[in-house]
Chain A
């Protein structure tokens, strides 16, 4: 047997899947060929190279992320019950695979994380670690919110909207996603929840403009009225022309036209 031929056998030989008669032929070759023998010896040596241990911090970080999931799951269920959703919905949320996903979205309250870290680590880097971990969990929550807003079920999208309100500072991506929800979501409930969530960010021009655009296109009277309410509250005088159009449009629901008329008075 030549080395080229042996080369075909070596990988299977190492894995122990070479046919016995081929293995015999290979072994005969190995007795006279130091090079092929060395290859096999090194390959075997690779499997017993000493391994390294990761630091305990790796597990702690992982457990913190997992705990964020669990906390989020409980918060999600509690929230669903608080909101007095129909029972079937609550139950579906509980069973839904998306819920665990949602759960990750919840930021661990500083106290939980801080407390955990203070008991587990000491030394100067623990503050950085807490900060890094909080950043990580927060990043994950944003991710979860964004993903939940894409869900097929309205209840899950609703959940995503309510999770988004837990951020102290709204991520621009989430703002954009919520504005998209206000304009295009098929469910009136979800649209209204998104408007609520956005109401805290009325100081952003992007939010006011987005809400005004939504007012232009939205067909649901409930949503229209809510949008007008919010824009009046934000003293957005740019919408006065738009309000005039609504007030004069006979296709628009009378209640909405009436609200538009009031709004014009409020803003003028």
Chain B
């Protein structure tokens, strides 16, 4: 029953005192938010802390949730703010873990795994702003409209940013792919997508 309710109605119940309904939203958003943060930070423990922080903030700010507010942009807005606040507090830690993360694909993995690994690396090399818009629009599946609501800008501006980020992603990907092909002796290194 409750699992078929739209996010917005569930959130209104949370707002009006049914804190336990937050569990439904946690169920729906735990994993997407976690992956959003892992994509941004490369840091699993930090990402879990951030997800927890998002749900604590929902409780804290729940009365600021107004009926008719699209829930997805709202929660991702909270998620972005939580991340921004964490960066202010803890920049060196974030950089450290980022550098420590092994980026190489295992040599014996399947071709598609390698391609995914290269795509991951290309994504990681993008500036955070571009990485974020791709994570939101492609990986998290937010509509441009929703991202525009979240960022407080025009839908057109979102599309322009998505495209610029895609352009840069392609450039980085091609560069990394060439590098990988030169290193690899495997015959299957030429990848057609």
A residues with CB within 8 A of B = 7-8, 10-12, 14-15, 35, 38-39, 41-43, 45-47, 49-55, 57-59, 61-63, 65-66, 69-70, 73, 95-97, 99-101, 103-104, 136, 140, 143, 147
Task: Establish whether residues B163 and A10, one from each chain, have CB atoms under 8 Å apart when the complex forms.
Answer: yes
In the complex, are the beta carbons of B31 and A57 less than 8 A apart?
no
Q: How far is the CB of B139 from chain A (nearest CB, A)?
A: 6
> Count of B residues near A, CB < 8 Å?
49
A53 close to B31 (CB less than 8 A): yes
B interface vs A, CB < 8 Å?
Answer: 14-20, 22-23, 26, 30-31, 34-35, 38, 44, 47-48, 51-52, 55-56, 59-60, 62-63, 115-116, 119-120, 122-123, 134, 138-139, 141, 143-144, 158-159, 162-163, 166-167, 169-170, 173-174, 193
Chain B residues with Cβ below 8 Å from A42 are: 119, 122, 166, 169-170, 173, 193
Minimum CB–CB distance from B168 to chain A (whole Å) comes to: 10
B138 touching A54 by the CB < 8 A rule? no
B40 nearest CB across to chain A (Å): 13
B115 touches A45 (CB 8 A): yes
Q: Is the interface of B mostly helix, strand, loop or mixed?
A: helix
Known contacts A47-B138, A100-B17, A104-B19: A52-B123 contact under CB 8 Å: no
Shortest Cβ-Cβ A-B pairs, 3 listed? A41-B193, A46-B138, A11-B159
Interface contacts beyond A35-B170, A46-B119, A62-B23: sample of 10 additional A-B pairs, CB < 8 Å, sorted by A: A11-B158, A14-B138, A39-B166, A45-B119, A45-B193, A47-B138, A52-B35, A54-B34, A62-B52, A63-B23
B20 touches A70 (CB 8 A): yes
Residues of A within 8 A of B44 (CB): 52, 54-55
Shortest CB distance B186–A (Å): 20
Q: Beyond A58-B52, A73-B19, is A49–B170 a contact (Cβ under 8 Å)?
A: no
Q: List 14 A-B contacts (CB under 8 A).
A: A11-B144, A11-B163, A42-B122, A42-B166, A43-B134, A46-B134, A46-B138, A57-B48, A61-B48, A62-B52, A70-B19, A97-B16, A97-B63, A101-B59
Q: How far is the CA of A58 from the CA of B54 in the complex (A)?
A: 12
Using A38-B174, A99-B17, A100-B17 as known contacts, say yes or no to A54 and B166 having CB atoms under 8 A apart: no
Bound together, the chains give a CA A46 to CA B22 distance in angstroms of 29
- Cα A143 to Cα B38 with chains together (Å): 28
Give every chain A residue within 8 A of B19 (Cβ-Cβ).
Answer: 66, 69-70, 73, 100, 103-104
